[in-house]
């Protein structure tokens, strides 16, 4: 019924062969950014959809999930097997906006190789053209002291004839630690008895206990800055005057000792909590251990253990609201602050608030208001209020806004960086 009512409003009108009008219920400031995003802009052939199940109200089209023949992109999926995707150039590709893009690479093979050392070895042997190298391993390729002290990426002489490291590039990613204010038991699906993060003093103590500078320099090798809230630097709505969280173990201990009197934990009667991260992510592992070590060193009544989970188990536990403390990241779906303040801060619509028991009605209203505000200056002020309001409640520990780099063989040409669509745009790449 809701869909029928929506369709009755004529939300989408075809005016002519090349013109479509979209009618919104209200002015939506992020709408141009949404349309420009790579996730919203692809166009699928209507005749293809109709020939394979069509669109039926209330019924999911499974065919479109299982088949990739309907695209208009520069490559065609030849095969998709566990761990390996093979694509071939589309001979009928339309060429992009200017009609001048024709894939030079005829076959692209994407392999999932979990071990970073194996990926590096494949790169150096020439078996791989482009690889992902985590910050925990980048010092094998670049002069790390040059980067740490001068901010310059210089490839080591012994691999410079084989490897190129491009960058640095600013990202719009935010790495954070979530603090669950209403922890659930995954089995009983009921809230557990011990809920330490419902007390703001505990949340604030954890924010004080994280050594941001050490993590940024020693773990992620200065390939990051410390964010001051949910909106990343470089994006509309970012306010540099808002302070970052500070590291202060003395304040952290004072807060935990005070909160423990009301929550039932103390140095003589400690409680145990667990930080979870996705297994294989070495930076998150080290960050989790850094926080756990700090809290444990305070002897204030909380004992922190660190547990890795494979990605499916991690996500299942997150959806079940059963992660007390978790290390995670967020990358943009569309380049607008709405794609940060909603998922991070909106208690009814957000991705994370509903999974950590956070819901602030006043904050929700501000978030809804910013999305409807077309005046940039007025919207910017509302976004500032949102950042301050969520920060003063210590809902998350804002850890890093990563700085990116790209690792490839020197023979790869045509790669470029796009913060809105990070990765490899194979249509412009060549080897030679």
pLDDT surpasses 80 at 1? no
The mean-pLDDT minimum among 61-65, 234-238, 256-260, 402-406 falls in 61-65
pLDDT surpasses 90 at 44? no
Nearest 10 degrees: CA dihedral of 337, 342, 344, 349? -170
Token pair, residue 396, equals: 């998350």
Dump pLDDT digits (tens) for 163-175: 999 999 999 999 9
pLDDT for position 55: 86
What integer best gives the mean pLDDT of the chain? 95
**Cα 87 to Cα 81, 132, 409, 418, distances in angstroms:** 12, 19, 20, 22
Dump pLDDT digits (tens) for 8-43: 889 999 999 889 999 999 999 999 999 999 877 777
Q: What is the full DSSP assignment across 221-289?
A: TT-EE--SSSSPTTSTT--TTSPPP---HHHHHHHHHHHHHHHT-BTTB-EEEEEEEETT-HHHHHHHH
The three state secondary structure string of 139-154 is: HHCECHHHHHHHCCCC
Token pair, residue 398, equals: 């804002």
**CA-wise closest residue to 84 among 43, 58, 62, 113:** 113
Of residues 97 and 166, which shows the higher confidence score? 166
pLDDT for position 3: 82
410 alpha carbon, distance to own chain's centre: 29
What domains can be seen in the chain, in order of their start residue?
Answer: 45-70 (no CATH), 75-168+422-431 (3.40.190), 174-402 (3.10.105.10)
Give the three-state DSSP class for 72. Answer: coil
In total, the chain counts a number of residues equal to 432
Cα distance between residue 62 and residue 207, in whole Å = 44
Give the three-state DSSP class for 187. Answer: coil
Cα distance between residue 132 and residue 116, in whole Å = 8
Cα distance between residue 431 and residue 411, in whole Å = 5
pLDDT surpasses 70 at 98? yes
**pLDDT band, residue 4 (cuts 50/70/90):** confident
pLDDT for position 68: 63
pLDDT for position 66: 78
User: What proportion of the chain, given as a percentage, has pLDDT over 90?
Assistant: 86
- 142 with 425: CB under 8 angstroms? no
**CA-wise closest residue to 110 among 138, 131, 126, 136:** 131
User: What proportion of the chain, given as a percentage, has pLDDT over 70?
Assistant: 100
Dump pLDDT digits (tens) for 375-396: 999 999 999 999 999 999 999 9
pLDDT surpasses 90 at 350? yes
Dump pLDDT digits (tens) for 198-216: 999 999 999 999 999 999 9
- 172 with 331: CB under 8 angstroms? yes
Which residues of 95-160 form beta strands (DSSP E)? 107-111, 130-131
- For the residues 102-118, what does the mean pLDDT come to? 96
Dump pLDDT digits (tens) for 272-297: 999 999 998 999 999 999 999 999 99
Cα distance between residue 233 and residue 240, in whole Å = 8
Dump pLDDT digits (tens) for 147-164: 999 999 999 999 999 999
Dump pLDDT digits (tens) for 351-384: 999 999 999 999 999 999 999 999 999 999 999 9
pLDDT for position 39: 79
Pairing assessment for the beta strands 224-225 and 130-131 based on DSSP bridges: unpaired
- Cis omega before residue 168 (within 30°)? yes
pLDDT for position 351: 97
Cα distance between residue 159 and residue 381, in whole Å = 49
Sign of CA dihedral 130, 131, 135, 141: negative
CB atoms within 10 A of CB 107: 11
pLDDT for position 274: 98
């Amino acid at each position: 019924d809701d869909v029928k009512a929506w369709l009755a409003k004529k939300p989408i009108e075809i005016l002519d062969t090349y013109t479509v009008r979209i009618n919104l219920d209200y002015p939506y400031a992020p709408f141009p950014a949404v349309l420009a995003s790579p996730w919203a802009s692809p166009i699928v052939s209507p005749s293809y959809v109709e020939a394979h199940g069509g669109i039926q109200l209330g019924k999911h089209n499974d065919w479109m999930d299982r088949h990739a023949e309907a695209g208009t992109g520069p490559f065609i999926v030849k095969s998709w097997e566990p761990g390996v995707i093979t694509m071939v150039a589309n001979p009928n590709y339309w060429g992009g906006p200017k009609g001048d893009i024709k894939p030079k690479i005829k076959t692209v093979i994407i392999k999932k190789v979990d071990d970073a050392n194996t990926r590096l070895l494949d790169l150096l042997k020439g078996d791989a053209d482009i690889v992902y190298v985590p910050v925990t391993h980048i010092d094998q390729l670049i002069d790390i002291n040059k980067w740490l002290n001068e901010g310059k990426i210089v490839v080591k002489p012994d691999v410079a004839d084989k490897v190129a490291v491009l960058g640095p590039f600013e990202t719009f990613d935010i790495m954070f630690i979530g603090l669950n204010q209403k922890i659930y038991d995954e089995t009983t699906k009921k809230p557990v008895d011990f809920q330490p993060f419902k007390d703001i003093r505990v949340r604030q103590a954890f924010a004080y206990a994280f050594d941001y500078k050490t993590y940024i320099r020693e773990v992620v090798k200065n390939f990051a800055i410390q964010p001051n809230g949910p909106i990343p630097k470089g994006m509309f709505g970012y306010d540099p005057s808002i302070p970052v969280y500070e590291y202060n173990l003395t304040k952290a201990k004072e807060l935990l000792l005070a909160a423990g009197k009301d929550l039932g934990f103390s140095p003589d009667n400690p409680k145990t909590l667990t930080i979870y991260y996705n297994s294989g992510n070495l930076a998150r592992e080290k960050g989790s251990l850094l926080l756990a070590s700090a809290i444990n060193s305070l002897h204030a009544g909380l004992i922190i253990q660190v547990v890795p989970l494979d990605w499916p188990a991690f996500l299942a536990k997150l959806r079940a609201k059963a992660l007390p403390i978790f290390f995670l990241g967020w990358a943009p779906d569309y380049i607008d602050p709405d794609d940060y303040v909603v998922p991070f801060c909106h208690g009814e619509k957000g991705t994370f608030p509903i999974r950590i028991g956070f819901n602030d009605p006043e904050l929700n209203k501000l978030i809804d208001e910013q999305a409807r505000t077309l005046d940039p200056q007025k919207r910017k002020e509302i976004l500032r209020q949102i950042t301050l309001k969520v920060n003063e409640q210590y809902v998350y520990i804002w850890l890093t806004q990563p700085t990116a780099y790209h690792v490839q063989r020197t023979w790869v040409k045509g790669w470029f960086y796009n913060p809105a669509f990070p990765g490899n745009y194979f249509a412009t790449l060549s080897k030679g």
